[in-house]
Structure 1
Amino acid sequence: MTFDFARKQRIAIIGGGPGGYEAALAGAQLGAEVTLIENTGVGGSAVLTDVVPSKTLIATADAARAIDEAGDLGVQFFARGAAGKPLKPEVAINLLAINKRILALAGQQSEDMRESLLEAGVRIISGHGRLEGDDAVVVSTGPDGTDFDRIEADTFVLSVGASPRELPAATPDGDRILTWKQMYNMSAVPEHLVVVGSGVTGAEFASAYMNLGARVTLVSSRDQVLPGEDADAAAVLEKVFTRGGMTLLAKSRAESVENTGEGVRVTLSDGSVVEGSHCLMAVGSVPNTRDLGLEEAGVQLADSGHILINRVGRTSVPNIYAVGDCTNLIPLASVASMLGRTAVFHAMGDAVIPFSEHKIASNIFTTPEIATVGWTSATAEDSTAWKLPLSANPRAKMMGVRDGFVKLFVRRGSGTVVGGVVVAPKASELIYPIAIAVDRRLTADQLARVFTAYPSLAGSIADAARALHGVDQRGD
């Protein structure tokens, strides 16, 4: 592949999810001729069927929970009955209206992103893209897939995402056995939702529907909810789930799921049966890398079908990059966005900082939220940890927050902040100062010296940092 530097560099991007979107903007910003190929809509599944819809549902469920628990703060809702006696009204959930709003919001977000790309000068083609070697993309644009367009480019970015994994004995039907993409077709809160899978997706939907008033059973093949996450955080979440009436089935594996017409029958590996009205299959995802011409182009894949990339998003073919859930990196929208920019900057010769897994800030949108960054309890090496319960925080008391904590990890000897865990309302916002500390290699003392408002939940971060002053960080 040779480049003609007398003309603009040409970049072709397959997939308009968070990674492809940011890659397109970065290329346009640096003056490249950018073409984006997307078959469902700008934003991809992250905006249209995954991240944006699910987090909107969760925000709605949190609002319902806040109303229901307002009585704990002395806020009471009453209506007058026929005899003039006060009645306590119920919180009504109109799931049809909720899902209509969710899908409308997702569609508007997609359109906003599309407008941003057009304003930046990006050419958008609606269709299915496929690599033709390392110098062109063939796009099927007709309704029957017979009309083709060939786009030549110098650099290619693959951002094709992933789809819900399906089990042969539990095939989703869109009626009672559902993937997370199909949850927005329901018109009423399920009477009893069985969630198979206790990873991030399973835990988030289980939390949301519990707060919307559904009876929920969570089937986990591991010994804790959120396997692989901070054990203290998982313990808090399990406590909240149990208190809310959720049934947790640990070390249980679903062998099959059957739609009985009136509900679902989930058969576990030990022979026991769980019956419910609906079942959400949240058993992971598979990359959308089939029929993309990757093998023919020489792009190396993992056995799982994920595209192997280095820390700037480059594949085994020098001018082909890949970002997002289709790669072997952590499947987060924020990671896809960051790597989309990094890949294009690298391809165009701009300065880049290679991706570092230990600087990722991530969040699980359960209630309470769980946010992490850097090294955590499962991976921390040569570090000292300090955990401060939110029950000691004055703002938490004012808000009626009963569950949560802030945990910091610092390197022994230097006191450098290497990681953190926050379990709290809006933990996704509270993790940011810890992420800055990890990225900038600040010490606990430096973090402690930053002013926080009083009272505030962020004050617990400073309190935890101050508590680490004077603690023997040498490990002696």
Structure 2
Amino acid sequence: MEFDYDLFVIGGGSGGVRAARVAAGEAGAKVGLAEESRYGGTCVIRGCVPKKLMVFASEYGETAKDAQAYGWKMMAGGFDWPTFRDKLEAELDRLEGVYRNLLANSGVETFDMRARIADPHTVELSDGTRKTAKHILLALGGWPVKPDLPGAELAITSNEIFHLDKLPKRLLIVGGGYVACEFAGIMNGLGVQTTQYYRGAQILRGFDEEARGLVSEEMMQSGVDLHLGTNVLEMKQVEDGIWVKGTNGSERVFDQVMFATGRAPNTTDMGLEDVGVKLGRRGEIEVDEFSQTSVPSIYAIGDVTGRVELTPVAIREGMAFVETVFKGNPTPVDHELIPTAIFTQPEIGTVGLSEEDARDQEPIEVYCTSFKPMQQAFAGRSDRVLMKLVVSQKTRKVLGCHIVAPGAGEMIQMAGIAIKMGATKEDFDRTVAVHPTMSEEMVTMRQPVRTA
């Protein structure tokens, strides 16, 4: 049968846009794409990009203090939120325009509306029109979820935090994942009195324990009022803010409460179950190594698959999909040894296995050093950084690298290349140190601190 399109993509985030424009531009496919919200998706519009700009903004206060310690005579005023927010929103508008242009220039036809699956080869747009396609790609992304408790509707999520009319004086952040911890650092740095509740015993579950511990300690040192083993029982609007009752027996009032308690795949009311697309326990779309769903003509990439929820991974999955389906070159996605950064304050950069996971797998050696970096120590700050390598006793390969330090994200990108290539501890040792830097410690650690 004759289809309207070779490919129809639902979702205009990083993964969907990349797949659409490469299929159209490089593979010559006829491509349609529907997006119900803003082009650029979570990362560009309500995630990594605005978040990182807020991280930068929040760090200047301490930098100004450090500058004075270095001999600069300067008086800084307070932080002006509206000035920053307006500039941020203008930048997001600009980036959305870039995404729209990329699609238009590749010849992708776009529809600014919601789309659902009608059958294995048909999507139905919200205006009732139907489009047929040989292949359908679901790049639906995820959305923050709020817990089910009395008064939850009073809280905001990370989606709204970028667009507040004014900064709250007192903010409660609920959660212990990277979104919660990043925003605790940001808001604290912007001068907001920041409290964080997390129900677990330590923040940043799944990351290396030593790295988590240091970040947690440094966050508290810098003024975040972090309460572990604590959750919210109920909330209600009172005259001077939002009254919050905690599981630790506390009753406090905040101007704003932000839930960063997880994200769910955007699969509700998409018609997926009706056509036989299998979903997992959390509503994620189940796919094979080629991103194909249980319906052969339908594929899915990015956060909606619940694999690795990172922008560059969604982009890679999109590229692999085009190679597989439109270029006749079956390409599975490699999810091994993905370097990543968490823009907490201090930052974490990590690639490979945590000490705990590696220890469960095989005998290891751990090389680790923690110290006060020169720049901050000179300014009289007590900040500490951590450099850590987890090494296989048998193969000598570096199984994991963990950095907690300013600029850890920049460092881990480079370390990630070496570790992806299978570098051994001796490869690190043979590399001459760049002095004076923090990262030189990665190649000067001679003796293991412990074996396991």
TM-score (normalizing by structure 2): 0.91
99, 106, 116: which one aligns with 1:120: 106
User: Offset at 1:72?
Assistant: 3.2
SS in 1 for 2:124: strand
CA distance in 2, matches of 1:25, 1:410: 41
68, 73, 88: which one aligns with 2:70: 73
Which string of whole-angstrom CA distances, capped at 9 and with x for unpartnered residues, describes residues 402-425 of structure 1? 321111122222211222111111
CA distance in 2, matches of 1:95, 1:155: 45
CA distance in 2, matches of 1:40, 1:325: 16
CA distance in 2, matches of 1:407, 1:472: 10
For structure 2, the residue ranges without an aligned partner over 5 or more in a row are none
Residue 393 of structure 2: aligned partner: 412
Cα gap change, 1:165 to 1:472, in 2 (>3 Å): closer
Q: Please say if residues 367 and 449 of structure 2, whose CA atoms lie closer than 8 Å, have aligned partners that are also in contact.
A: no
CA distance in 1, matches of 2:239, 2:307: 40
CA distance in 1, matches of 2:65, 2:150: 35
CA distance in 2, matches of 1:445, 1:353: 33
Q: Please say if residues 120 and 297 of structure 2, whose CA atoms lie closer than 8 Å, have aligned partners that are also in contact.
A: yes
Residue 19 of structure 1: aligned partner: 15
CA distance in 1, matches of 2:401, 2:34: 38
CA distance in 1, matches of 2:281, 2:119: 21
Residue 136 of structure 2: aligned partner: 156
Residue 271 of structure 1: aligned partner: 249
CA distance in 2, matches of 1:22, 1:401: 44
Cα gap change, 1:164 to 1:35, in 2 (>3 Å): same
Residue 199 of structure 1: aligned partner: 177
CA distance in 2, matches of 1:241, 1:98: 24
Residue 169 of structure 1: aligned partner: 149
Q: Between Structure 1 and Structure 2, how many residues are aligned?
A: 447
Cα gap change, 1:8 to 1:137, in 2 (>3 Å): closer
Structure 1 range deviating more: 263-272 or 298-307: 263-272
- 1:347 lines up with 2:337 in the alignment: no
Q: Please say if residues 171 and 194 of structure 2, whose CA atoms lie closer than 8 Å, have aligned partners that are also in contact.
A: yes
- 1:373 lines up with 2:351 in the alignment: yes
User: Offset at 1:348?
Assistant: 2.4
- 1:229 lines up with 2:207 in the alignment: yes
Which string of whole-angstrom CA distances, capped at 9 and with x for unpartnered residues, describes residues 238-269 of structure 1? 22222122211110111122222421111122
CA distance in 1, matches of 2:331, 2:421: 13
Which residue identity does 2:15 align to in structure 1?
G
CA distance in 2, matches of 1:367, 1:352: 41
Which string of whole-angstrom CA distances, capped at 9 and with x for unpartnered residues, describes residues 337-361 of structure 1? 1112112222225445533433111
User: Offset at 1:217?
Assistant: 0.9
Q: Please say if residues 419 and 434 of structure 1, whose CA atoms lie closer than 8 Å, have aligned partners that are also in contact.
A: no
CA distance in 1, matches of 2:318, 2:98: 19
User: Offset at 1:332?
Assistant: 1.5
Q: Please say if residues 390 and 396 of structure 1, whose CA atoms lie closer than 8 Å, have aligned partners that are also in contact.
A: no
Residue 85 of structure 1: aligned partner: none
CA distance in 1, matches of 2:322, 2:235: 44
Which residue identity does 2:225 align to in structure 1?
T
Residue 132 of structure 1: aligned partner: 118
Q: Please say if residues 276 and 295 of structure 2, whose CA atoms lie closer than 8 Å, have aligned partners that are also in contact.
A: yes
- 1:111 lines up with 2:91 in the alignment: no
CA distance in 2, matches of 1:184, 1:9: 37
User: Offset at 1:187?
Assistant: 3.1
Cα gap change, 1:75 to 1:34, in 2 (>3 Å): same
Cα gap change, 1:26 to 1:70, in 2 (>3 Å): same
Residue 293 of structure 1: aligned partner: 271
Residue 80 of structure 1: aligned partner: none
Q: Please say if residues 368 and 449 of structure 2, whose CA atoms lie closer than 8 Å, have aligned partners that are also in contact.
A: no
CA distance in 1, matches of 2:86, 2:449: 55
Which residue identity does 2:370 align to in structure 1?
P
SS in 2 for 1:255: strand
User: Offset at 1:318?
Assistant: 2.0
Structure 1 range deviating more: 351-360 or 322-331: 351-360
- 1:95 lines up with 2:75 in the alignment: no
Which residue identity does 2:23 align to in structure 1?
G
Q: Please say if residues 362 and 371 of structure 1, whose CA atoms lie closer than 8 Å, have aligned partners that are also in contact.
A: yes
Cα gap change, 1:188 to 1:76, in 2 (>3 Å): farther
Q: CA RMSD in A?
A: 2.5
User: Offset at 1:398?
Assistant: 6.7
Cα gap change, 1:315 to 1:413, in 2 (>3 Å): same
SS in 1 for 2:119: coil
Q: Identity, % of aligned pairs? A: 26
Cα gap change, 1:247 to 1:178, in 2 (>3 Å): same
Structure 1 range deviating more: 221-230 or 179-188: 179-188
CA distance in 2, matches of 1:309, 1:385: 36
Structure 1 range deviating more: 307-316 or 397-406: 397-406
CA distance in 2, matches of 1:261, 1:99: 27
268, 271, 284: which one aligns with 2:262: 284
CA distance in 1, matches of 2:252, 2:237: 12
Residue 30 of structure 1: aligned partner: 27
User: Offset at 1:9?
Assistant: 7.5
Cα gap change, 1:249 to 1:100, in 2 (>3 Å): same
Residue 304 of structure 1: aligned partner: 282
CA distance in 1, matches of 2:329, 2:421: 18
Cα gap change, 1:177 to 1:347, in 2 (>3 Å): same
Q: Please say if residues 365 and 393 of structure 2, whose CA atoms lie closer than 8 Å, have aligned partners that are also in contact.
A: yes
SS in 1 for 2:257: strand
TM-score (normalizing by structure 1): 0.87
SS in 2 for 1:357: coil
Q: Please say if residues 390 and 403 of structure 1, whose CA atoms lie closer than 8 Å, have aligned partners that are also in contact.
A: yes
CA distance in 2, matches of 1:32, 1:421: 42
SS in 2 for 1:326: helix
CA distance in 2, matches of 1:252, 1:472: 33
Residue 57 of structure 1: aligned partner: 54
Q: How does 1:400-439 map to 2 (within 5 A)?
A: 402-439=383-420
User: Offset at 1:282?
Assistant: 1.0
For structure 1, the residue ranges without an aligned partner over 5 or more in a row are 78-88, 141-146
